[in-house]
Amino acid sequence: MGSTSENDHSTGVGRRDLIRRSAALGLLSVPTMSFLTSCASSGGGSEDKAKAGKKTDKNPLAVNETAQMEFVLFDGGFGKEYAEDAVKIYEKNFPGAKVKFAATQKIQSTLQPRFNQGTPPDLIDNSGAEQMDMGVLVGKKQLADLTPLLDAPSYDDPAKKVRDTLRPGIVEMGQFDGDPVWILYYAYTVYGVWYSQKALDSLDATYPETWDEMLAVCAKAKKKGIAGWTYAGKYPYYLPFSLYPMIGKVGGRDVLDAIDNLEPNAWKHPAVKTCFEAYYELYQKGYVLKGTPGLDHIQSQTAWAQGKALFLPNGSWVENESANVIPADFDLAVSAPTGIDSSDKMPFGTIWASGGEPFVVPAKAKNTSGGMEQLRIMLSEASSRNFTAKVKSLTAFNGGTDGITLTPGLKSGVAALDKAGDNVVNPRLQDWYVQLQKEQIGVGGLGEMMAGRLTPAEAVKKIQGYADAAAKDSSIKHYKHQ
């Protein structure tokens, strides 16, 4: 497959969100830490704020019924139709209000000047290659606290608060230091190892639960001319989608927390070494698709969909993003990462699942209550079901799948969550330290190791060095698990 255009490799970025939690994706540019430093002192905006409306049972956030509400969405793999549908509900509920809606892949370059001027929109889906750095936004007090939304009655059931209708971990993900909730992650992503059940069946193989079994399956595939693995070699921070939960499975949640907290020698934990060596073995034994280090996410997903490789570390957006290349009889499935053996600290099924598509309401928005009300509408059962039906992904709303025929990948993702139970991990590094995760750990460390240019020991040393530098850098706002 030839090289993709910049637009191609930006699509669907939002969950990578991953990636920084984002989200997430075809990323070239990384928001610089200086990006919003000038915003803290920016003036304007506040004197133009919309006056509060009348608080009623149907308008619990006291939205001004005639004030304009402006909503800017990241135009990625989930498209914009789900948001446009939710906007129509807002306009129906507030017929005197005009909604200004726009979708773009250029979140940072479009919105940075407006933050600087103190005139940001009321609601932003801050996702994609040009995602604004969440840690900086929070550190500079650029975001409104979403607690009023979370404590408001839910759209469907006034007896339940919005917060009581959300999936586990969503509220905590929006926190950085203590109680305020700055971000509402709307999509709910299952990260793991994606594969074709049909391809595994054709090898007379089952999904491997131990690393010896993984190597055996890859050896079997290689004999048939199929690679064991491929991944987005140009953006190797996709590797952690399966590698981080594997580290948690092998060494326990505390290892991931220590990494997030930038603790000294966190990356030198034996579980990290073991898992790096396991992945490196895939490279050494020739089980990674030839040319993978040069592929972007679209190219690697296409090669995988064409049956050139069995396994692909990715998030649940892959089903929608690759819909045009996944064969009808592919039988798409996802599994929690393979572990090492029975000595692992957590059981097989331990998986990474968390919110994606980070929505924020800027502190200096003219109509903050309108932005929050639009989110309240989106967190209704009907809007959630609409999103799931259209884009093959779950939302933060804990439900919304009744009456929908689940696609193979989504059905498999729900089954993986059921199997995991409480064994769901949620690494925060990519939310808290965007540049560290993407450029240094992903590209500079894991990418180099999987391309054979660093040994596992060298990669660990290099990554620990990057983490130590970030920990000592006083220009970076630091966060810790509470």
Q: Which residues pair with 68 in a beta bridge?
A: none
Residue 58 banded pLDDT, cuts 50, 70, 90: very high
Q: Give Cα separations from 38 to 94, 113, 115, 225 (angstroms).
A: 35, 10, 9, 55
Whose structure tokens read 């139709």?
81
| Structure tokens belonging to residue 108 | 């940072």
Q: What is the pLDDT of residue 482?
A: 75
In whole angstroms, give the CA distance from residue 310 to residue 198: 10
In a domain, 102, yes or no: yes
In a domain, 454, yes or no: no
C-alpha atoms less than 13 angstroms from C-alpha of 96 in its C-beta half-sphere:
6
Q: pLDDT tens digits for 235-247?
A: 998 999 999 999 9
Q: For position 23, which CATH number holds?
A: 3.40.190.10
Highest mean pLDDT among 17-31, 42-56, 381-395: 381-395
Residue 30 banded pLDDT, cuts 50, 70, 90: very low
In sign, the C-alpha dihedral spanning 466, 266, 354, 146 is negative
| 280 has pLDDT over 90 | yes
The domain of 57 spans 6-189+355-405
In a domain, 57, yes or no: yes
| 112 has pLDDT over 50 | yes
Q: What is the pLDDT of residue 218?
A: 98
In whole angstroms, give the CA distance from residue 460 to residue 273: 7
Q: pLDDT tens digits for 135-157?
A: 888 888 999 999 999 999 999 99
Q: Residue 284 corresponds to which amino acid?
A: Q
25 neighbors 19 (Cβ within 8 angstroms):
yes
Mean pLDDT of 277-293: 98
| 416 has pLDDT over 90 | yes
| Structure tokens belonging to residue 178 | 């203590």
Percent of the chain with pLDDT over 90: 74
Q: Give Cα separations from 348 to 210, 337, 436 (angstroms).
A: 9, 8, 29
In a domain, 17, yes or no: yes
Terminal-residue alpha carbon distance, the chain: 46
Residue in 163, 164, 240, 192 with CA at minimum distance from that of residue 431? 240
Q: Which residues pair with 193 in a beta bridge?
A: 313, 335
Min mean pLDDT across 17-26, 109-118, 128-137, 466-475 is at 17-26
In a domain, 281, yes or no: no
168 or 372, which is more confident? 372
In whole angstroms, give the CA distance from residue 204 to residue 206: 7
In a domain, 36, yes or no: yes
Residue 40 banded pLDDT, cuts 50, 70, 90: very low
| Structure tokens belonging to residue 359 | 């929505």
Mean pLDDT of 328-352: 98
83 neighbors 103 (Cβ within 8 angstroms):
yes
Mean pLDDT of 352-362: 94
Q: What is the pLDDT of residue 128?
A: 84
Min mean pLDDT across 242-256, 284-298, 312-326, 336-350 is at 312-326
97 neighbors 91 (Cβ within 8 angstroms):
yes
Q: What is the pLDDT of residue 348?
A: 98
Residue 185 banded pLDDT, cuts 50, 70, 90: very high
In a domain, 471, yes or no: no
| 7 has pLDDT over 70 | no
Residue in 33, 50, 221, 154 with CA at minimum distance from that of residue 396? 154
Q: What is the pLDDT of residue 136?
A: 84
Residue 399 banded pLDDT, cuts 50, 70, 90: confident
Residue in 105, 17, 130 with CA at minimum distance from that of residue 356? 17
Q: What is the pLDDT of residue 20?
A: 36
In whole angstroms, give the CA distance from residue 216 to residue 161: 50
- Average pLDDT over all residues of the chain: 89
| 46 has pLDDT over 60 | no
pTM value is: 0.77
What is the distance, to the nearest Å, from the Cα of residue 245 to the centroid of all Cα atoms in its chain? 14
139 neighbors 35 (Cβ within 8 angstroms):
no
| 438 has pLDDT over 80 | yes
Mean pLDDT of 35-48: 42
**Number of separate domains in the chain:** 1
Residue 47 banded pLDDT, cuts 50, 70, 90: low
In a domain, 463, yes or no: no
Radius of gyration of the chain (CA): 22
